[in-house]
Structure formats: structure tokens, C-alpha cells
């Protein structure tokens, strides 16, 4: 039985495939529309990863790929719900890294199908959503009286974010902001202004925990952050969307390399009466970190029984031990919340 990584030669998928290939040599397949790219990745693995071609828009092609698969990891945003349903109807475990809420809702509606066939789908897998969900639930466990959760993400402009991630950021900049900016302490970057952004974690956390959750973002370059969100407030990116020029905008982002490849996550829960609990995490290269998280979740589903249904990451892994594993992958996690006065 194999682990199939669709989009396995992309910025996130390649990390996922190589980590899994090192752990299960010969049992991992990197698949995508361009076979030659998958073959390059397979050769770089020394044979630990195999290559396959698939057009996820062709159900027959997907069915052929699923023969012999135990776990399928989806690292692209194309026909996600259709691929998820095809997997679940075969009893195949499914992992999706999407941060787009409409896609998450489509897959969530397959919960009855997953139960019927005894299969599991894992959502909110990556940095945001993913690690942000785990940190938020740790905060909520420590402060049951919490009424709000604020999630802040700092991204380094110097890293390789991958074409798919840049396109997603460009699309979200064209979406009107919901919520207001705030200032948060982000360790070595000091106190920074972060802006509301449409990551899916805030919606799932709000729905599941019954609190008001908001996710915000900034970049390590304060100048770039100010410029981008100033243009967003002026409606420039809305015009980009109407002109269907998001790909051109994403390409322009890819040429900006001001700063480092570092990222940081700051999550705090507050009860409105002085009670505050905070968790922080930092690392390098968000695509690499997302690939690490995805590989660890896929390995968990590959090795151990999982409850049938469609679940978010916090219901499939134990947060403390999972976050502790990340320290072996160049990520730093604060083991204790700072005091409210910090």
C-alpha cells in the first residue's frame, strides 16, 4: 500500500514526499500533471519516491492512481472535493493542505461518506491552518473562559513560498478585510501591526470552540506590509481581481526578496476579564514547515487507526507531542505561555 502525494513536486509536496520517502522508501508516489517533474523529484530521492502522472480533473485518471493507495495527500487546489470523495469511497485516508474555506466546507460535507466507508479525511494541515489550530486549542484548554482567539502570522519575504501559496495570498489580498488590525509582540521582530486575512483556521476555531477567532498577517518587512495593506484598503487588489490578474500579482510577489525566510506564529486567547494565555512558534521557510506538518500527519494516518470522518488536525494528533516533534525540524515552540504582562 502506498502514500500518494498529488502535487508531489511542488514547494510543499516535494518536502512532504521526500520526508515520507525517507521514512517509507519505495512506498511513496509523487504525482502531478507533469511526469517529468515528478521523475526529477523521484531521482533526487535515490529511488525512495516513485513518480506518476495524474490529471486530477479526469476521474478515470484519478481512479487509476488510487489503485493500491492507503493515504492520499492533496498539495494542489484543483478538484479537491472530487478527489477526496473518490478516496473516501475506496476507504483511502485523505490529507489536504488547503487554506481556502470554501474547499474545506466542500470536503467537510463528505463526513457521512467517510463514516460509511470507514475512511478518514484530515483538514487544516500545515502552518496556517494547522499549527495555528493546535496552538489555539492549547490556549483554549488552559483558559476555558476565553471568549476570543487572536492568531498572528509573520511571513519572511526572503523565502520560496511556492507558486500556489503566492497565488493564494494574491487572491486573499483582493478580498475585503473582515476585522481590524492590531499590534502584537512577535519576538525578535518586536511589536508589529498585523492585518486580518482570510485563513480558514479562524472560521473552524470559531465554529468548533464557540469563540470569536481572527487571523492576521504581516511580513518581516514593515515597509512591504504597510504598502500591501495600504493598497488593499484603497481597493487596488479588488481591481486586480476584476481584471483576473491574480497570477500576474503572484508572479510580482515572487520577485520580492526583502528579508529572511523566517516565520513566526503568535496565538493568544483572552476572556475579556484580564485572563490571557499565549503560545508562540517560529521556524524557517513556511513551505518547508507545511511539508513537515503534512508528512507527519500522513505518517500518523498511514501507521495508526484513525477515527472515520472528516477531521481537523487537532482531532487527529495530540498537540503537545506533535508540537514537540517539530523541534527536530528547525522549529521552536514555547513550552509555556508567557505571563499576561509579557
Q: Is the pLDDT of residue 244 over 70?
A: no
Distance (Å) of CA 312 to CA 121, 137, 176, 295? 8, 12, 26, 15
Residue 175 binned pLDDT confidence (cut-offs 50, 70, 90): confident
Judged on CB neighbours under 10 Å (0-12, 13-18, 19+), 312 is buried
> What span, in angstroms and rounded, lies between the C-alpha atoms of 200 and 214?
10
- Give the chain's domains with CATH numbers: 2-123 (3.40.50.720), 127-287+328-333 (3.30.360.10)
Residue pLDDT, tens place only, 81-136: 999 999 999 999 999 999 999 999 999 999 999 999 999 999 999 999 999 999 99
Q: Is the pLDDT of residue 143 over 50?
A: yes
pLDDT at 106: 97
Q: Is the pLDDT of residue 339 over 60?
A: no
Residue pLDDT, tens place only, 316-326: 999 999 999 99
Q: Is the pLDDT of residue 340 over 80?
A: no
- The mean pLDDT of 156-162, rounded to a whole number, is 67
CB 214 within 8 A of CB 289: no
| pTM for the predicted model, two decimal places | 0.89
- Number of residues in the chain: 342
Residue pLDDT, tens place only, 179-220: 899 999 998 899 999 999 989 999 999 999 999 999 999 998
Bridge partners (DSSP) listed for residue 53: 32
Residue 170 binned pLDDT confidence (cut-offs 50, 70, 90): confident
CB 47 within 8 A of CB 28: no
pLDDT at 338: 43
- The mean pLDDT of 15-38, rounded to a whole number, is 97
Residue pLDDT, tens place only, 246-271: 565 556 555 655 567 899 999 999 99
Amino acid at each position: 500500500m502506498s502514500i500518494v502525494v498529488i502535487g508531489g513536486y511542488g514547494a510543499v509536496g516535494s518536502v512532504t514526499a521526500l520526508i515520507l520517502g525517507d521514512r517509507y522508501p519505495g512506498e511513496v508516489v509523487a504525482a502531478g500533471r507533469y511526469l517529468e517533474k515528478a521523475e526529477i523529484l523521484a531521482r533526487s530521492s535515490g529511488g525512495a519516491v516513485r513518480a506518476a502522472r495524474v490529471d486530477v480533473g479526469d476521474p478515470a485518471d484519478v481512479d487509476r492512481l488510487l489503485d493500491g493507495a492507503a493515504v492520499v495527500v492533496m498539495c494542489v487546489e484543483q478538484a479537491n472535493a472530487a478527489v477526496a470523495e473518490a478516496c473516501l469511497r475506496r476507504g483511502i485516508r485523505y490529507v489536504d493542505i488547503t487554506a481556502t474555506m470554501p474547499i474545506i466546507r466542500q470536503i467537510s460535507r463528505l463526513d457521512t461518506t467517510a463514516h460509511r466507508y470507514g475512511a478518514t479525511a484530515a483538514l487544516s494541515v500545515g502552518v496556517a491552518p494547522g499549527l495555528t489550530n493546535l496552538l489555539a486549542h492549547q490556549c483554549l484548554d488552559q483558559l476555558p473562559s476565553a471568549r476570543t482567539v487572536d492568531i498572528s502570522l509573520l511571513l519572511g519575504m526572503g523565502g520560496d513560498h511556492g507558486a500556489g501559496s503566492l497565488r493564494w495570498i494574491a487572491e486573499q489580498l483582493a478580498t475585503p478585510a473582515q476585522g481590524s488590525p492590531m499590534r502584537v509582540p512577535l519576538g525578535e521582530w518586536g511589536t508589529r501591526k498585523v492585518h486580518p486575512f482570510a485563513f480558514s483556521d479562524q472560521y473552524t476555531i470559531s465554529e468548533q470552540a464557540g469563540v470569536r477567532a481572527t487571523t492576521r498577517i504581516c511580513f518581516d518587512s514593515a515597509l512591504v506590509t504597510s504598502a500591501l495593506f495600504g493598497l488593499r484598503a484603497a481597493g487596488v487588489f479588488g481591481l486586480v481581481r476584476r481584471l483576473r490578474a491574480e497570477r500576474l500579482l503572484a508572479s510580482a510577489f515572487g520577485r520580492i526578496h526583502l528579508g529572511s525566510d523566517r516565520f513566526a506564529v503568535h496565538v493568544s486567547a483572552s476572556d475579556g476579564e484580564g485572563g490571557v494565555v499565549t503560545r508562540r512558534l517560529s521556524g524557517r521557510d513556511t513551505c518547508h514547515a507545511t511539508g513537515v506538518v503534512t508528512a507527519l500527519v500522513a505518517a500518523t494516518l498511514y501507521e495508526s487507526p484513525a477515527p472515520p470522518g472528516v477531521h481537523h488536525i487537532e482531532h487527529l494528533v495530540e498537540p503537545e507531542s506533535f508540537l514537540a516533534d517539530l523541534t527536530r525540524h528547525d522549529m521552536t515552540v514555547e513550552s509555556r505561555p508567557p505571563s499576561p504582562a509579557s
